Structure 1
Amino acid sequence: MLVIAVMLVVVAIIGFVIAAVLKLPSVDGTTGGTQKRTVRWVSAGVLTLAVVFFAFGSFYTQDAGEANVLKDVTGNIVGQNNSTGLQVKAPWVNTVTFNIRNQQVIFAGTASEGSDNSGGVSNGPQITVQDQDGVSSNVDIALRYSIRPDAVTDIYKEFLSEDNFKKSFIEQDVRSVVRLVPNGFSTIDLLTKRGDVEAAILDALENRWEDDGVIVDSISLQEIRPPAAVVESYADAQQAQINVTKEQANLDAAQVSAQQKVVQAQAEADANAILNGSLTENILSQRYLDTLGKLAAEGNLVVVPDGFNGLVNVSK
């Protein structure tokens, strides 16, 4: 816009010069005042248009979640603005806008797929990592980050644009850190302790970007895909553990049942001992007499020989 405005000013000046210096012939052959006035009016209109362009070039709007670096036509940085709303600047100053909202970087799938696992397009393919045991796995990961407003000038000085910053810095660092962190985890831990792996990646990126004006908002390990042989071995190990747990449960149940039988037998033995201890000679004699009385009451003839301890029942 500044270039257009300058060009219009030059055209207007040329027009005024032509109107003032040259003698334009009129239609009837005399010096044409009408043509001069026309050139002046056209030049004035062009100059007015240039002023309008200069005026528009002196204002810009800045939305919430944006920060602008201000630079002049020579490329020198003359300021930075984080305020929102309508802003004023010199017409020869340009703005470079940076998004300081929460942004996302996703690495997922293969290079040919290009999917972010949610219907969108990923920033790059899956990341291949190697764990502590030397096993390679493919990782899908999503990162959310934001740029500190006070860091946009330094970012501009080094990368010139936000797109270049994202591709040359953010994406490269994410791939590097995600490859490095799993080296401290075993294959089993990488599969079963995803939260610990996420936390380690988050800490590594926060430490790496501490002085670069980048805030890590969240890390999400969407998927970890080890080789098929590792998955099968892990499944077999899980099944073996299930079988061991099942057999241990059966053994525990058998032990409980045996203990119950021991307790029951002990209770019966204790009851018999108590009963035997309570059968004194007088009690046995009384039960003997009670039995004879019961048999006699039913019309039975009971013969008890002298010295015989048993009973003989003779029906009537």
Structure 2
Amino acid sequence: MEKLPKIAFPFIIGIIVLIIVVSKSLVTIGPGEGGVLFEPLGGGVNTEHTYGEGFHIVAPWNDMIVQKVRQQSISENMNVLSVNGLDITVSGTIWFQPEFKNLGNLIQTKGEDYIRELLNPAINAAAKSVVGRYTPEQLYSSKRDIIELEILEEVRNELDGQFVNVKRVLVENVKLPTTIKDAIERKLKQEQESLEYEFRLVTAKKEAEKVIIEAQGKADANRILSASLTDKILQDKGIEATVKLSESPNSKTIIIGSGDSGLPIILGNQ
């Protein structure tokens, strides 16, 4: 077997080095991601430029730090105290998005694990502050939407100027001690039954008022009509009715004398 020429060894080593350099210099940033350069020879994290999706060529002695820059969410289970000191577990989700242009500043100040270093403490602090203003009953029932908005506002205040935008906060579950939860549910059920009973009473009262009003209207109409029916009007109406009846083709009319009111008396209808 023939030995390789001496010049072949440096050539092979050069190819290997070239492959390493090229592989380290070509960086792919995926969809919804951004990258910032860490330059060991140039002052650390480059905060001036954020790289977008696609292929990028960087110096082999630099590192590309890639992070998600699209909207993301994290869920937390937080143990907090109500206004009366009751221990409550609140489960919530927060939607956030790092600022693309300031990704370098975010990583430089908070590190690559900024979610644990920055977001989690801010969420917990906001939840404790807001939940501590309410009673267990308010947390369990009627105040959920207001609590979400207040936590969102608190988190935004905590993260102001920290290069992360918080989009929304959702309080998914409020876990109370079983005895407290059962007592609240019984109270809510009683209140609902009371409201239904009041509704039935109000409905019945309105129906009774409607019947009274209709009866009163009919009585008033009859009274007005009775007052307007004089003997002369009744006589005229009787004459009109007698004429129409006499003109009917199905009637044979015989008029004999007159009645007490002066109207004709009609006999012999067919």
Tell me whether the two structures share a fold, i.e. TM-score over 0.5. yes
Residues 122 and 159 in structure 2, CA contact (< 8 A), matched pair in contact too: no
Using the TM superposition, give the Cα deviation of residue 141 of structure 1 relative to its aligned residue in structure 2, in angstroms.
0.7
- Where does residue 241 of structure 2 map in the other structure? none
| Matched AA of 1:92 | W
- Where does residue 181 of structure 1 map in the other structure? 130
Separation in 2, partners of 1:62, 1:96: 10
| Matched AA of 1:96 | I
Mapped pair 1:194 → 2:111: no
Separation in 2, partners of 1:81, 1:279: 101
Q: Which has the higher contact order (CA 8 A, sep 6+)?
A: 2
Separation in 2, partners of 1:278, 1:52: 118
Matches within 5 A, 1:82-121: 82-107=51-76
- Where does residue 217 of structure 1 map in the other structure? 167
- Where does residue 13 of structure 2 map in the other structure? 46
| Matched AA of 2:121 | Q
Percent of aligned pairs sharing the same letter: 14
Residues 130 and 183 in structure 1, CA contact (< 8 A), matched pair in contact too: yes
Residues 39 and 45 in structure 2, CA contact (< 8 A), matched pair in contact too: yes
- Distance 1:177-1:75 versus aligned 2 partners, 3 A rule: farther
- Where does residue 302 of structure 1 map in the other structure? none
Deviations 1:14-41 (A, max 9, x none): xxxxxxxxxxxxxxxxxxxx97x73332
Using the TM superposition, give the Cα deviation of residue 255 of structure 1 relative to its aligned residue in structure 2, in angstroms.
6.0
| Matched AA of 1:70 | L
Runs (5+) with no aligned partner, structure 2: 235-257
Match of 1:81 among 14, 30, 50: 50
- Distance 1:258-1:148 versus aligned 2 partners, 3 A rule: closer
Separation in 2, partners of 1:97, 1:198: 32
Using the TM superposition, give the Cα deviation of residue 64 of structure 1 relative to its aligned residue in structure 2, in angstroms.
3.5
Using the TM superposition, give the Cα deviation of residue 173 of structure 1 relative to its aligned residue in structure 2, in angstroms.
1.7
Using the TM superposition, give the Cα deviation of residue 213 of structure 1 relative to its aligned residue in structure 2, in angstroms.
0.8
Deviations 1:28-84 (A, max 9, x none): xxxxxx97x733322321122212322332222223422222223468426343233
Using the TM superposition, give the Cα deviation of residue 258 of structure 1 relative to its aligned residue in structure 2, in angstroms.
5.6
Matches within 5 A, 1:122-201: 126-161=77-112, 164-190=113-139, 191-201=141-151
- Where does residue 208 of structure 1 map in the other structure? 158
Range moving further from structure 2, 131-140 or 197-206: 131-140
Using the TM superposition, give the Cα deviation of residue 269 of structure 1 relative to its aligned residue in structure 2, in angstroms.
7.5
Runs (5+) with no aligned partner, structure 1: 1-33, 108-125, 298-316
Q: Which has the higher helix share?
A: 1
- Distance 1:41-1:220 versus aligned 2 partners, 3 A rule: same
- Equivalent residues, number: 239
- Where does residue 264 of structure 1 map in the other structure? 215
Range moving further from structure 2, 142-151 or 51-60: 51-60
Q: Give secondary structure in 2 for the equivalent of 1:55.
A: helix
Give the alignment's TM-score, normalised by structure 2.
Answer: 0.70
Residues 95 and 167 in structure 2, CA contact (< 8 A), matched pair in contact too: yes
Q: Give secondary structure in 2 for the equivalent of 1:57.
A: helix
| Matched AA of 1:91 | P
Deviations 1:253-290 (A, max 9, x none): 2464266347626744873686488687xx9xxx9947
